[in-house]
Amino acid sequence: MTQLRQRMLEELQRRNYSTGTIRLYLQHVAAFAQHFHRSPDQLGAEEIRRYQLFLIQQKKLAWSSYKQIVCALRFFYAKTLKRPFMLEDIPFPRHEQRLPLILSKDEVERILTAPSHLKTRALLMTVYSTGLRRSEVARLRVSDIDSARMTITVDGKGKKDRVVMLSPVLLDTLRQYWRQAKPKHWLFPGETPDQPISGNDVFAVFHNAVRRAGITKHVSPHSLRHSFATHLLESGVDLRTIQLLLGHRSLKTTARYLHVSQYQVRATASPLDSLNLSKKPSEK
């Protein structure tokens, strides 16, 4: 490992970045350097501009992937090289305002009942009943389930723990699953029992269930999280509570579910309804 890479690693560790983020940031900066066959500390604003255009025009990266690379480069120049003035030359892409895709309760039911394996059903039920992210459900431990208090402790994004409710229906399914599989540490272990299930495996079992359920929408495991939030909102749960359950830093992030809640849309009266239009128009 070069001294520069070691320094970036240490700066990331000092700020308590997750292991996954550290790995990705190091990979992105290394790919940037390899593109120009030079050490990244010898690359400046012009190389950054050309690399960003390469990612957009030739690689045609998804904006989410592109944004992650931008974050890595901004961290490298501002924190590792101590050149904060470079941030002006590493612009963020404009945020795409896309509404999350929501599954109906019927569609969720079809997905959750589609798996033939109890472990898969228990995993997908856990995602929907708690609104967990894919990485969060993968890292659940058996000890995180508190049946006495009916809660689940979640190792959340950014290493921020939070507590969510434990559904009695989910608890019953988890007990059946535990009696059958006897997981010891990780609630949903991977192929190696001492390791948790991978995020890619969560993705795969979800899409297998979607296919078996006959759902044709372009959905992902995150769609269960979106549906959890929207269905809570439609049942009358307030935004602040949903924010805490989802682990959102900002209420603005949670508020987007107001835009996708059909209940809220249907319950909102049009201003047309307040007008007196009893006078009929002339037929001439």
Out of 25, 51, 177, 257, pick the active-site residue.
Answer: 257
Out of 222, 249, 256, 280, pick the active-site residue.
Answer: 222
Nearest-10 Cα torsion for 104, 109, 115, 120? 80
Q: For residue 124, which of 20, 51, 236, 116 has the smallest C-alpha distance?
A: 116
Out of 83, 157, 162, 256, pick the active-site residue.
Answer: 157
Q: Does the active-site annotation cover 231?
A: no
Q: Does the active-site annotation cover 257?
A: yes
Instruction: Let me know if 6 is exposed, middle or buried by CB neighbors in 10 A (0-12, 13-18, 19+).
Output: exposed
H or E segment to which residue 276 belongs: none
Out of 134, 225, 226, 231, pick the active-site residue.
Answer: 225
Q: Does the active-site annotation cover 133?
A: yes
Q: Does the active-site annotation cover 77?
A: no
Question: Phi/psi at 105 (nearest 5 deg)?
Answer: -65, -35
Strand partners, 164: 152
- The 10 Å Cβ neighbour count of residue 247 is 19
Contacts of 103 (CB under 8 A, 6+ apart): 111, 215, 217, 219, 223, 224, 226, 227
Q: Does the active-site annotation cover 259?
A: no
The identity of residue 75, as a single letter, is: F
Q: Does the active-site annotation cover 25?
A: no
Out of 28, 121, 133, 226, pick the active-site residue.
Answer: 133
Cβ–Cβ < 8 Å for 239, 254: yes
Active site residues: 133, 157, 222, 225, 248, 257
